[in-house]
Chain A
Amino acid sequence: MGRNRFSNIYLMLVFLILYAPILYLVYYSFNSGGNMHEFEGFTLDWYKEVFADTRLLIIVLNTLVVALLSAAISTILGVLGALAIQQVRRRQPKNVLLTLNNVLIVSPDVIVGASFLILFTIIGIKLGFVSVLLSHIAFSVPIVVIMVLPKLEEMSTNLVDAALDLGASRLDVLTKVVLPYIKSGIFAGFFMALTYSLDDFAVTFFVTGNGFSTLSVEIYSRARQGVSLTINALSTLLFLFTALLVFGYYFLNRRKALAVGMEVKQ
């Protein structure tokens, strides 16, 4: 009992430390004083300013478009990649492929960003929406592979054999057996890619240009002048938005899990 209480306190402490900076930021986004030193009074001015600043809104929309598109495309590519890797039966080449995939995940963003800048320069792609989208897809694909592969591995090969025995074509097996089975992995991969894209700074910093910018890069260049509370307000909105997404995803999953559980009972 005593140990239990201790671990609860510890857990609460950890969460407090995790959320304190965000709460601090949210708190001051309502400060009429205009700085982060002392709280003068409650105001919604900073939120009004966010919505009045069209340039900032365009940048927010850009960020969301890049995140959604890159996450969706890299999920498709990543799933295909995971299927291909799973097909490799021999141990050694498979390990080599997996390691190569993981190297991309652990390599520093700065290196990835600089490499992309050099690559785009050589092949003559103009910096802007396309360059940002391509690089985001590139660093998201390995993440999706990593999220999907365990699901594939966990699937019993008997399922596929049974389907084939019953006369299913290869395509049927893929669309009616394999993909539904790994669905949760696919969505997990999609959401990981989405968040990676949303908060990436280092890679994006190198490949933005020509009037196209994302939020992380914009906030960075504004921070030089001292972060305005508009940024606090915007961050609060984004935090709420992502929190809603996560909770929404959680509740959908739970409802489905309950539904599945009921079916089993019947």
Chain B
Amino acid sequence: MKGLVRAFALIFIVAFGLMYLTSYLNSEQGYSGGNTLTIYNWGDYVDPELLEKFEEETGTKVIYQTFDSNEAMMTKIEQGGTTYDISVPSEYAIAKMKQEGLLLPIDSSKLSNLKHIDPRYMDLPFDPGNQYSIPYFWGTVGIVYNSELLGGKKLTSWADLWDPSLKNQILLADGAREVMGMGLNSLGYSLNDTEEAHLQEAKRHLGELTPNIKAIVGDEIKMLLAGEEAAVGLVWSGDASEIMGENEKLDYVVPTEGSNLWFDNMVIPKTARNIEGAHAFINFMLDPENAAQNAEYVGYSTPNASALKLLPEEISGDERFYPGPELTEKLEVYENLGKRMLAHYNELFLEFKMHSK
């Protein structure tokens, strides 16, 4: 008995000692004060130096937390037991969160740097008038390919993927709208097409692609492409820039027929405590210098026109990530097609997946 009591006393002492150490480390970082700002963002989606700079400038301490999917983030915010002051969802998630009343309106009078954002990225269908969201990064959906494995061949369009020489070489990201969008785009239809005949045609057209498809995969697509397990992949531009950093034989292209344009925007969730600080942070990130530094660190495309001018030519002039006006014309943002249409998209995608093997 004595031994037991002693052992458990020791366990509790160690646990409380560690707890004290944690709170010491926390206060060392300045996290214990009342003036904190909690940011809920994708993993590795901001330059840590910028967070430090923000802390120095404003005296506000930043707590950085990460999520890995829009859905997980929405669940946490909906639950209400959290106090996130800033979050960065993608456009379809913003539309949904707005509908469900999970967002606080943004007071744009407090954002003196808002003028730097390229008007092209403002006032978009998922948030008219930018009442709830401010652009953070944008990107496209396109093709990553390894020209060495393809014998020096270059890909430029969706139609190239149907080439019989690509047999068993293509990896697709597992997204209904991305893959169906590829089918629709390759036939010259809109990504947001809802006409049944066009959708069926797109599905049939995708069916003809099956001999070339090696697999339909999730996030591991980056690893597989970097490891040269396949020569071609359908991916988001952000993933593409990351894979290309790992394996320089890879190249990215936005197909000439057009593709999807996506956005990650900053929002203030309804659970925010430090609303003043949240505005200050958004304004800080809109500052051209900071936005440029962040874009360089993260590698995605910035919507900040003044920041773009500050970026080195090799980044801002890279047509793969900042496509020229001609191609930009053809890019489309996903519209909220409604529950029933989305279910139909998913169904068609599922049928395609079932028949692809």
Interface membership of A175, Cβ < 8 A: yes
Provide the A195-225 mask, 1 if CB < 8 A to any CB of B, else 0: 0000000000100011101000010111111
Residue of A nearest to B227 (CB): A37
Flag if A62 contacts B66 (CB, 8 Å). no
* Cβ contact within 8 Å between A209 and B82: yes
A226 and B222 form a contact (CB under 8 A): yes
Segment from B8-16, B105-113, B120-128, B136-144 that makes contact with A: B8-16
Cβ of A162 to closest chain B Cβ, rounded Å: 18
User: Of B26, B67, B68, B223, which is within 8 A of A58 by CB?
Assistant: B26
**Across the interface, which residues of A come within 8 angstroms of B80, CB to CB?**
121
The reply to whether B83 and A175 contact each other, CB–CB distance below 8 Å, is: no
Q: Does B64 contact A (CB under 8 A)?
A: yes
Flag the segment in B38-46, B205-213, B347-355 that touches A.
B38-46
For A221, the chain B residues whose CB sits under 8 A away are 43, 66-68
Contact of B4 with A210 in the complex, beta carbons under 8 Å: no
Please tell me if A255 contacts chain B, counting CB pairs below 8 Å: no
Check if A120 is an interface residue, CB within 8 A of chain B: yes
By a CB distance below 8 angstroms, the chain B residues around A126 are 81-82
A-B contact count (CB 8 A): 104
A35 near B246 (CB under 8 angstroms)? yes
Q: Which residues of B55-106 are within 8 A (CB) of A?
A: 63-68, 72, 75-76, 79-83
| Interchain CB contact under 8 A, A175 and B1 | yes
Kindly state the separation between the CA atoms of A226 and B22 in the bound complex, as whole angstroms. 28
A186 proximity list for chain B (CB < 8 A): 4
Known contacts: A121-B81, A131-B81, A175-B1. The answer to whether A222 contacts B44 by CB under 8 A is yes
A68-B15 contact given A209-B76, A211-B31, A226-B222, CB 8 Å threshold: yes
A48 contacts which chain B residues (CB < 8 A)? none
B242 within 8 A of A: yes
Taking CB atoms, residues of chain B closer than 8 Å to A128 are: 81
Q: How far is the CA of A263 from the CA of B115 in the complex (A)?
A: 85
Q: Given the complex, which residues of B lie within 8 Å of A120, measured CB to CB?
A: 79, 81
Contact (A224, B65) CB under 8 Å given A72-B11, A209-B82: no
Could you name 14 residue pairs across A and B whose Cβ atoms are closer than 8 Å? A37-B227, A55-B64, A68-B14, A68-B15, A72-B8, A72-B15, A126-B81, A127-B76, A180-B3, A209-B82, A221-B43, A221-B66, A222-B66, A223-B219
The 6 closest A-B pairs by CB, nearest first: A127-B81, A68-B15, A221-B66, A209-B82, A61-B22, A175-B1
For the A-B complex with A68-B18, A127-B81 known, give 14 more contacts whose Cβ atoms are closer than 8 Å. A37-B227, A54-B28, A58-B26, A62-B22, A69-B12, A71-B11, A120-B81, A125-B81, A131-B81, A179-B1, A180-B3, A183-B4, A187-B7, A226-B222
| Residues on A facing B (Cβ under 8 Å) | 35, 37, 54-55, 57-58, 61-62, 64-65, 68-69, 71-72, 75-76, 117, 120-121, 124-128, 131, 175-176, 179-180, 183, 186-187, 190, 205, 209-211, 213, 218, 220-226
